[in-house]
Chains A and B, each alone.
Chain A
Amino acid sequence: MSDRPPVLTMTAISKFFPGVRALDGVDFRLFPGEVHALMGENGAGKSTLIKVLTGVYGADAGTITLDGAPVSFSGPMQATAAGVSTVYQEVNLCPNLSVAENIFIGRQPGRLGSVRWREMRRRASALLARLDLDIDVGELLGNYSLAVQQMVAIARAVDVQARVLILDEPTSSLDSDEVAQLMRIMRQLRDEGIAILFVTHFLDQVYGIADRITVLRNGRLVGEYPTAELPQFALVEKMIGKELDTLERLDERAGRDRAAVEAAAPVVEATDLGRSGSVAPFSLTIHRGEVVGLAGLLGSGRTEVARLFFGADRADQGRLAVDGRPASIRGPIAAIERNIAFCSENRRTEGLVGELSVRENIILALQAARGWLRPVPRRRQDELVRRYIEALSIRPADPDMPVRNLSGGNQQKVVLARWLITEPRLLILDEPTRGIDIGAKTEIQRLVVQLSDDGMAVLFISAELEEVLRLSHKVAVMRDRHLVTELANDESLDAERVMRVIASGAEQKERDEA
């Protein structure tokens, strides 16, 4: 492969944002007929690199060549025209248009400015047949599953004679069958000579398909490696860097005192709780002082379980008991009244009110519980806010700063503070450490341990198995919207075993087919 010249090279690319060095002298190359995984933690600069490549941002330094000729795209459209197509994580197509139209819009076959629908449909069918996808191209795209939409997006991308195909986290919302289908298409396209840049968080997918891996960290290039020569552990180490040590220190907590927490009184007990179309009925008990980890891939139903406990979505099957008494949780208010708190994975859309100050965001839940007629007295506000800014070391420590000006980690702490001042007995954390820097991550993990030691029950959701294993007393595994099994977190449990359960799904029957 290396004897052929690369189709794409990026040399010494730098990109600065005010106060931030998003990319610093990064090199990247892509050969025809290879799948090249671009790896890195959140904030490593993967997305920025792709955006520089496709012309969304201009590079502050460095050169890009395509087939040896220097290029500088003004935007995704020009990049596409030059043969560099991108498929994004959220399917960026129009659900209100037909499949055929989604593939061809902007370059419909036509004559004298008139779109020829029949010709377009015929060509769309032919194109999808090449990807082994047999669907009605006249149907509205929105009526198909996300996976099909994703593949239609790929079809659109490759139809423009793409030589470089960028797949930016295409698999995060797909189930494993769908992922398999996508991988098959990727292999096929690779064999046709297309160069594929693949961004994903799933290591097994990388090792399943990538020929070569480039690792970024904090905007810098760590290195480029043939997949075969880079063991998984080494990859993780290169992605995380030195900070791994900091995390390891917490690892001593593994094998926490399970006997004690299981003897404690249960805080919540779900029995066959479920919501059709969202998550199959499951049973789960969380005791006082217990951390229950919820593992599973994105889209496996982790978040949905959390939302049912909190009443963010209403359960339509099963029972829920809080402190041994049956509870019907019809909405967040009912949950809050029962001292349940929920930090959503989407800080910006479901957590914070960006315009409001740190102070207002912190007291929001407490204030909501008191009703608008009884404002939290200013002095008490100041005291609470000061205490939690200090305890969680929220920076900058300015209570009146609009919360949107804070960094991701500090925003996460603000959401945490909001719930901690309500003194919850069950704290549900959905991906609390995603997209935040490593320091804040460690602090939040420590906090979880401390809270549970103080008797709080915690439901901890994370895509990172290591993190789940490090913190939890027991791990519940989700797959395909089923809670497959509960695993006690003892010496015998490791990431690989959890991974196997996630992958195989044990002997779970698909009982809610109807």
Chain B
Amino acid sequence: MSDWRTRLPAVTGHRLFWPVVALVLLLVANAIYRPSFLAVEVKNGHLYGSLVDIVRLSAPLILVALGMTLVIATGGIDLSVGSVVAVSGAVACLYISRQPDQNSLGSVLVALAIALGIALLLGLWNGTLVAVIGIQPIIATLILMVAGRGLAQLITSGQIITINSDPYRMIGVGHVLTLPFAIVIALAVTLLVALLTRRTALGMIIEAVGGNAEASRLAGIRARRIKILVYVASAACAAVAGFMMTANVSSADGNAAGLWVELDAILAVVIGGTSLTGGRFSFGGTVVGALLIQTLTTSVYAMNIDPQTSLLFKAMVVIAVCLVQAPAFRARFRRRRSRGAAPAAPVGENRKEQVAA
């Protein structure tokens, strides 16, 4: 009964269809350009290959984007994640650099705890500005985006703090069970956040707050707490990403660490089909979005184009994705296509809006 005619729209209409298609196309293009691209091999018990690299390099972005997904689902936005990445990396590296034995696992864990704690405070600050004082999210987090950069530089005294700590390096470049540790962390955090939101009612409550804040309040949801929670979660994710980024290079640079990451993260969320106006969110989409962005960056590197130029491609991807998702654009497109054909009949709200308005 359900031949391709009826199934096709169901597949193409899925919100992950176009992002996945884009990702696959990009991988295919890479494979054609460089056939070794798809090769994955095990060397010294570690998994190696371009694909593995892409996933490993996208781990920090996935983390930041996960937190961003939650924030955006409540109808907010967090511009300060880049600064939080810088601050948390700087704090962790500063603490480790002051230790007599930088290789001590104990002091690395203390460093991580301190840095994570500070990041949580920064998240709490954002959440308070948005949920308690009632400042628009884009502006509230802009404050920390500006000041946090300064804070990170203050912590590093404007220097690049270099450390030599094997346990810390592990976070960025280590391996566990043949898999790069960064991938394991990203996977674990993704699963954790997904479980926390989808196995409890948190996900639905976040979507309700993002979909209609006032209705949620009147239904008895503590929207304020939920909002604070998502900003704290976002900061926590950014902090872990900050550890990864600094561990990758064993140094903390208050100026450069996490630069642009907020934009990439927002981009990943949007590509993943979560609407910037809040409401329904999709972690799967966000992960695909982050992978797509990293693949794009890696491809640009591989093709020997200046990495900054990848911004040009990103710009085009942003516009394309937003246009595809924009109702106004879709409406135009559909009108053109269905002229003459009988229009489908979405009854109900449309009518109410037009008649009762």
Q: Decide if A and B are genuine partners.
A: yes
Chain A residues close to B by CB (< 8 Å): 17-20, 22, 42-43, 45, 47-48, 51, 57, 310, 312, 331-333, 336, 342, 344, 349-356, 360, 364-365, 367-376, 404-408, 418, 435
Instruction: Give the distance in Å from the alpha carbon of A355 to the alpha carbon of B275 in the complex.
Output: 11
Asked if B199 is at the interface (CB within 8 A of a chain A CB), the reply is yes
Given A48-B354, A355-B280, A356-B208, A406 contacting B348 (CB threshold 8 A): yes
Closest to A43 in B: B355
Choice from A22, A333, A354 contacting B220 with Cβ under 8 Å: A333
- For residue A354, which residues in chain B have a CB less than 8 angstroms away from its CB? 211-212, 349
Chain B residues contacting A435 (CB-CB under 8 Å) are: 352, 356
- Is B9 an interface position by the 8 A CB rule? no
Contact of A45 with B355 at beta-carbon distance under 8 Å, contacts A349-B215, A353-B216 already known: yes
B215–A360 CB distance below 8 A: no
A-B contacts, 14 listed (Cβ < 8 Å): A18-B343, A19-B351, A22-B355, A47-B355, A48-B355, A349-B212, A349-B214, A355-B279, A370-B201, A372-B226, A374-B200, A374-B201, A375-B200, A408-B356
Do B346 and A405 have beta carbons less than 8 Å apart? yes
**Residue of A45, A344, A356 ringed by the most chain B CB atoms within 10 A:** A356
**With an 8 A cutoff between CB atoms, is B331 at the interface?**
no
Do residues B221 and A364 form an inter-chain contact, with CB atoms below 8 A?
Answer: yes
A370 to B214, CA, bound (A): 19
Q: Mark B212-233, 1 if CB is under 8 A from A, else 0.
A: 1011111111100010000000
**Cβ contacts under 8 Å, A406 to chain B:** 348-349
Residue among B221, B279, B343, B350 with the highest chain A CB neighbour number at 10 A:
B221
B215 to chain A, nearest CB (A): 5
CB of B345 within 8 Å of the partner chain: yes
Q: Which of B208, B217, B350 makes the CB contact (< 8 A) with A360? A: B208
Contacts of A57 in B (CB 8 A): 354
**Does B31 lie at the interface of the complex (its beta carbon under 8 Å from any beta carbon of A)?**
no
Task: List 13 additional A-B contacts (Cβ < 8 Å) besides A364-B216, A370-B201, A408-B352.
Answer: A18-B345, A18-B350, A19-B345, A20-B355, A22-B351, A51-B354, A57-B354, A336-B220, A351-B215, A353-B208, A354-B212, A356-B279, A365-B219
Q: Which residue of chain B has its CB nearest to the CB of A23? A: B355
**Interface residue from A19, A42, A310, A418 paired with B356 (Cβ < 8 Å):** A42
Instruction: Name the contact of B204 in the complex, choosing from A18, A360, A374, A408 (C-beta under 8 A).
Output: A360
Chain B positions within 8 Å of A48 at CB level: 354-355
CB distance from B298 to the nearest CB of A (A): 35
Q: Are A43 and B215 in contact (CB under 8 A)?
A: no
CA distance A360 to B216 in the complex (A): 12
Q: How far is the CA of A355 from the CA of B216 in the complex (A)?
A: 13
Q: How far is the CA of A372 from the CA of B221 in the complex (A)?
A: 9
- CB < 8 Å: which of A17, A312, A364, A373 contacts B351? A17
Which residues of B are found within 8 Å of A367, using beta-carbon distances?
A: 201, 204-205
- Give the residue name and chain of the A residue nearest to B199 (CB): A375
Chain A residue nearest to B357 (CB atoms) is: A47
Question: Contacts of A408 on B, CB cut-off 8 Å?
Answer: 352, 356
**What are the residues of chain A within 8 A of B349 when measuring CB–CB?**
354, 404-407
Does B315 have its Cβ within 8 Å of any Cβ on chain A?
Answer: no
Quick check: is B344 within 8 A (CB to CB) of the other chain? yes
User: In the complex, what's the smallest C-beta–C-beta distance from B18 to chain A, in angstroms?
Assistant: 20
Residues of A within 8 A of B279 (CB): 353, 355-356
> Closest CB of chain B to A388's CB: distance in Å?
15
Contact of B350 with A365 in the complex, beta carbons under 8 Å: no
The verdict on B202 contacting chain A, using a C-beta distance below 8 Å, is yes
Question: Which 3 A-B residue pairings sit nearest by Cβ, starting from the closest?
Answer: A353-B211, A368-B220, A19-B345
Minimum CB–CB distance for B287 against chain A, Å: 22
> Does B177 sit at the interface, judged by CB under 8 A?
no
A22 contacts across to B, CB distance below 8 A: 351, 354-355
Contacts of A368 in B (CB 8 A): 205, 216, 219-222
Chain A residues near B207: list those with CB within 8 A.
Answer: 353, 355-356, 360
Q: Are A350 and B215 in contact (CB under 8 A)?
A: yes
User: Cα distance A406–B348 when bound, in Å?
Assistant: 5
Output the nearest chain A residue to B356 by Cβ-Cβ distance. A435
Minimum CB–CB distance for A398 against chain B, Å: 12
Interface string of B323-357 (1 = CB under 8 A from A): 00000000000000000000111111111101111
Q: Taking A356-B208, A418-B219, A435-B352 as contacts, is the C-beta distance between A19 and B347 under 8 angstroms? A: yes
Q: Which residues of A contact B355 (CB under 8 A)?
A: 17, 20, 22, 42-43, 45, 47-48
- In the bound complex, what is the Cα–Cα distance between A368 and B191 (angstroms)? 24
**Taking A43-B355, A47-B356, A353-B216 as contacts, is the C-beta distance between A17 and B211 under 8 angstroms?**
no
Instruction: List chain A residues, Cβ under 8 A from B199.
Output: 375
Output the nearest chain A residue to B208 by Cβ-Cβ distance. Answer: A353
Contacts of B200 in A (CB 8 A): 372-375
Question: Which residue in chain B gives the minimum CB-CB distance to A367?
Answer: B201
Asked whether, in the complex, the Cβ of A20 is within 8 Å of the Cβ of B347, the reply is: yes
Which residues of the other chain, B, contact A356 by a CB distance below 8 angstroms?
Answer: 204, 207-208, 211, 279
Chain A residues in 8 Å Cβ range of B205: 367-368, 372
Given A20-B351, A336-B220; A352-B343 close (CB under 8 Å): no
Shortest CB-to-CB span from B281 to chain A, Å, is 11
C-alpha spacing A332/B357, complex, angstroms? 29
Chain B residue nearest to A45 (CB atoms) is B355
A332 and B217: CB pair below 8 A? yes
- B357 neighbours in A (Cβ, 8 Å): 47
Q: Mark B183-212, 1 if CB is under 8 A from A, else 0.
A: 000000000000000011110110110011
B345 shortest CB reach to chain A, Å: 4
Question: A237: shortest Cβ distance to chain B, in Å?
Answer: 22
Closest chain A residue to B279 by CB distance? A355
Give the chain A neighbours of B202 by CB distance below 8 A: 372
